[in-house]
Structure 1
Amino acid sequence: MSSPHHTLDVQIYYEDTDFTGAVYHANYLKYFERAREHLLGVDALVDLYREQGVGFVVYKVDITYKEPASHGDILHINTDILLESPYRVVFHQSAVHSQHQRLLVYGRLELVCVNKENKLVRVPEHIYEGLQALIT
């Protein structure tokens, strides 16, 4: 992931930390979600569900925690996209300390599309093509 397609900066607040002063582990999932929404556009995701009855849901998460972030840190949340099939979108995401440039957390998140009945459906063609354009 040497050249991320998208980077979102996140500042760490006291509310993000646990009793040790480190970022609570589940918060990285929130940061990754924010970065994906920023990349894809939250309005586009809401419109997709309202207009076509299709939405993205997390299918699988694999995260590795290397070092903790702390209160006051600013993290670069990097996101790359991989299209494995017409049914699955993979996001490789990482949290890098902005000052020290150290990799703190990285993960692979797989998303699939479901309809309003929670049945697996293909990623809509126009969304799939838009994601392909982001990759190239």
Structure 2
Amino acid sequence: MSETGLAGRLTEFGHAQSFRVYFEDTDFSGVVYHARYLHFLERARTDFLRLKGIGHRALMEGAFGEPMAFAVRHMEIDFLAPARIDDVVVVETRTVLLGGARVVLDQKIYRGEILLVAARVKVAVISPDGRPRRMPRAVAAILDPAFSAPKGG
């Protein structure tokens, strides 16, 4: 299976990735446990970066200059409707703001046309020792919403 198929797909707005809800994602009633949505959101953010050419390992190895990482600093999340076992949900991720040392992303989880979860995620850029640092220009350029998806992406 190609990396693209495994990691969702880049879109005109950012990234979309599908996940199936498994038994391990649910509570005793077959409804997705609220904390499991964070897993779906995290995986989608990671694969969004990966498809844009920004792998976490490469960041820590200094592929864009000095070693760096991303760390979630703040998250606002609204749980609007439940997902249930065997549902297929789609996580959409888009960059809404780039700053010198932060990225703000909007993420939404849908089941079909139904919005289940809406989240705004503020991510800080940090050095390997956890101190804030400026985002390398190359990374900012890639995450800029104006940066288009590759052909066939």
TM-score between both structures, scaled by the size of structure 1: 0.89
Query: Cα offset for 1:27?
Result: 1.0
User: Greater share of helix residues, 1 or 2?
Assistant: 1
Q: Quick one: which of 55, 60, 73 aligns to 2:74?
A: 60
- Percent of aligned positions with the same letter in both sequences? 30
Alignment of structure 1 residues 1-136 onto 2, 5 Å: 4-41=13-50, 44-51=55-62, 52-98=66-112, 101-132=113-144, 135=147
Name the CA distance, whole Å, in 1 between partners of 2:26 and 2:146: 33
Report the alpha carbon displacement of residue 20 of structure 1 after superposing the two structures with TM. 2.0
Runs (4 or more) in structure 1 with deviation over 2 Å come to 133-136
Calculate the TM-score normalised by the size of structure 2: 0.80
**Structure 1 residue ranges without an equivalent (≥5):** none
| Residues 82, 135 of structure 1: 8 Å contact kept | no
Do the aligned residues in 2 keep the contact of 1:91 with 1:109 (CA within 8 Å)? yes
User: Which of the two has greater strand per residue?
Assistant: 1
CA distance in 2, matches of 1:135, 1:27: 30
Please give the root-mean-square deviation of Cα atoms over the aligned residues, in Å.
1.7
Cα–Cα, structure 1 residues 93 and 50, in superposed 2: closer, same or farther, change >3 Å?
same
